[in-house]
Structure 1
Amino acid sequence: MYGERVTSVDRPATAPDPHAEATGPAGGPWPAGVAYQPVEPDRFTRAVLRLHARAPRWAVPLAALGCVGLGMTYALISDPTQSDPDARPTCLLKLTTGLDCPGCGGTRALWYVLHGDLPAAARHHFLFVFALPFLAWLFVAWAGNRAFGWRLPELQLSPKVIGVFLAAWAVFSVARNLPWAPFPSLYV
């Protein structure tokens, strides 16, 4: 069977047809003279797989929620809206080119969202504010299913919808860096 380890004890009783073509994992032919040999996982992979098998169902969603919580805490503590006008940007793209990156303004938008000021948040990163409810629902549906077995309605996004969103994000990222009116109003 595919992916099973075959030892001398486990060999089938009947010999395979030497004239039959060997098939690979996708059903296609293997090159002549090459037999499939499963790869033994290394020590680190085995440790991660053992840890995953022993972890409770809620551990991964809790860890993801902890990461989101740390991001929100950073945004609240750092108060990105009160930096000096001549402060060096922490974004590597902005530091080296002077251009706003696709995520530029996201931390400030998160800070304003956490303070309930949606117009100011949208001013800093409209697409982040637009995507936030969808991302929150995707996380709740995934975490609820993973941790508690809930079957919440999943948000079905077709590749076309995702492509349109990514294209809009790309246009927004370019437009906010254009130097002529009305685009400088998008500059953060």
Structure 2
Amino acid sequence: MTSAPGPVDQPQPAPGAAHPAALADAAPGGFGADGAGSGGPVAQGWPTTSPGGYPAPEPDRLTRFVLKVYERSPRWAVPLAALGCVALGMAYALVSNPTHADPDAAPSCLLKLTTGLDCPGCGGTRALWYVLHGDLPAAARHHFLFVFALPFLAYLFVAWAGNQAFGWRLPELRLSSKVIGGFLGAWLAFSVLRNLPWAPFTSLYV
């Protein structure tokens, strides 16, 4: 009849090897065997690891402030702020009247000022000015792709803002990656063609 092994009979670590409990206490963040530690993420309520298995970074003060403001803001605050930005852009186009501004008037396109070439966005402000005045042919003359994309952008904004502020469920405008890639390709081609010095491409230069 044998008795149960006592503490003396338990297997001991090899000479020079650290005890498992000591290894647990020395884990990153100061965690012990029970997962608790002094000053580590668990003690502060933050997750210990990210999905990739690495230690999760703690949010900084600015991030915590932004998240707190977002959580306490009414649901219509973000759409209203976005609408204010759009309104400021329209107001700038109306007040500055870019159709009568000098080519080097501030703010000016740096690419066109230094090289004389139209950048991908050149003519967009003038096109917006003509759209706000109801002159779509002149707007398309200055930036055709901007006028083409404007109805889609307006619908996307209205659908998003209505859902955020009032819970509207407007039909979704699904744009596949192929459609987006095709539009970007057309924009790139338009940006190149409008700078070619031969007719009829010279009519696209603004």
Query: Where on the TM-score scale, by shorter chain, does this alignment land: which range?
Result: 0.7 to 0.9
Residues 112-131 of structure 1: matches in 2 within 5 Å? 112-131=130-149
Residues 11-90 of structure 1: matches in 2 within 5 Å? 11=35, 25-26=51-52, 36-84=54-102, 87-88=103-104, 90=108
SS in 2 for 1:179: coil
Partner letter of residue 138 of structure 2? Answer: A
**Matches of 2:154 and 2:79, distance apart in 1:** 13
Match of 2:163 among 142, 145, 158: 145
> TM-score, normalising length from structure 1?
0.81
Could you tell me which runs of 5 or more consecutive residues in structure 1 were left unpaired when the two chains were aligned.
13-22, 31-35
SS in 2 for 1:64: helix
Percent identity, aligned pairs only, is 76
**Matches of 1:96 and 1:70, distance apart in 2:** 28
What is the CA distance between 1:8 and its match in structure 2? 5.7
What is the CA distance between 1:37 and its match in structure 2? 2.0
**Matches of 1:83 and 1:118, distance apart in 2:** 20
Could you tell me which runs of 5 or more consecutive residues in structure 2 were left unpaired when the two chains were aligned.
1-28, 37-48
What per-residue deviation string (whole Å, max 9, x for no partner) do you get for residues 5-43 of structure 1?
99669739xxxxxxxxxx9725xxx6xxxxx32211111
What is the CA distance between 1:182 and its match in structure 2? 1.3
Partner of 2:110: 92
Q: Which runs of 4+ in 1 moved over 6 A?
A: none
Structure 1 residues 107, 24: CA separation in 2 closer, same or farther (over 3 Å shift)?
closer
8 Å CA contact 2:127, 2:142 repeated in 1: yes
SS in 2 for 1:81: helix
Partner of 1:20: none
Greater Cα shift, 37-46 or 157-166: 37-46
Q: CA RMSD in A?
A: 2.2
- Tell which structure's C-alpha radius of gyration is larger: 2
**Matches of 2:34 and 2:80, distance apart in 1:** 42
Partner of 1:157: 175
> TM-score, normalising length from structure 2?
0.74
Partner letter of residue 108 of structure 1? Answer: R
Partner letter of residue 105 of structure 1? Answer: G
